[in-house]
Amino acid sequence: MNKLTLELASQMVDTALAEGRRLALQPLCVAVLDAGGHLLALKRDERASLLRPQIATGKAASVLGMGFGGRELAHRAAALPAFFNALSALAGGNMVPVPGGVLVRNGAGEVIGAIGISGDSSDNDERCAIAGVLGANLMPDSGAC
């Protein structure tokens, strides 16, 4: 598989939301972008707060734009805050360097998209993102060492 489809993106979103409900997390919002950074699917629990779609999309766009998962982005942002402030400006403010943004890789290891989740702690957001990717039989890359 060389590209992410709407069907797979929808499956990832639904699986991630189900995982959040199973874990009794705060209301989540899930965004899936294709490899070109275009939004394929976005769902927001009706109880999720106002900015969750922008945060979830920002997490996905951040990992896609930099080429590594949110956990690695967070590590680098802590070490190089001035650089990440500049990146955020270049990205029009669409840089959210925290866990919860996960690259989506195919069986060959190629990046075919990204998923971002917002609503609970960043660690729990990431956990649900990974579940979503695995639920679509794809490989998650959270940037964890």
- The pLDDT of residue 145 is 60
Query: Is 1 contained in some domain?
Result: no
Task: Tell me the CATH number at 24.
Answer: 3.30.450.150
Cα angle at 59 between 132 and 13, to 5 degrees?
25
Query: Is 39 contained in some domain?
Result: yes
Which residue, among 22, 10, 6, 3, has the nearest Cα to 120 in the 3D structure? 22
**Which range of residues forms the domain containing residue 47?**
6-140
Beta strands in 13-142 (DSSP E): 29-34, 39-44, 101-105, 111-118, 139-141
Q: What is the mean pLDDT of residues 8-25?
A: 98
- The pLDDT of residue 30 is 98
The mean pLDDT value of the chain amounts to 95
- The pLDDT of residue 2 is 82
- The pLDDT of residue 144 is 78
- Asked if residue 104 lies in contact with residue 138, where contact means CB atoms within 8 angstroms, the answer is yes
Number of separate domains in the chain: 1
Query: Is 30 contained in some domain?
Result: yes
Please write the tens of the pLDDT for every residue from 44-83: 999 999 999 999 999 999 999 999 999 999 999 999 999 9
Query: Is 145 contained in some domain?
Result: no
Q: What is the mean pLDDT of residues 104-121?
A: 97
Q: Is the pLDDT confidence value at 34 over 90?
A: yes
Q: What is the mean pLDDT of residues 113-119?
A: 98
Beta strands in the chain (DSSP E): 29-34, 39-44, 101-105, 111-118, 139-141
Query: Is 12 contained in some domain?
Result: yes
Please write the tens of the pLDDT for every residue from 122-133: 999 999 999 999
Query: Is 69 contained in some domain?
Result: yes
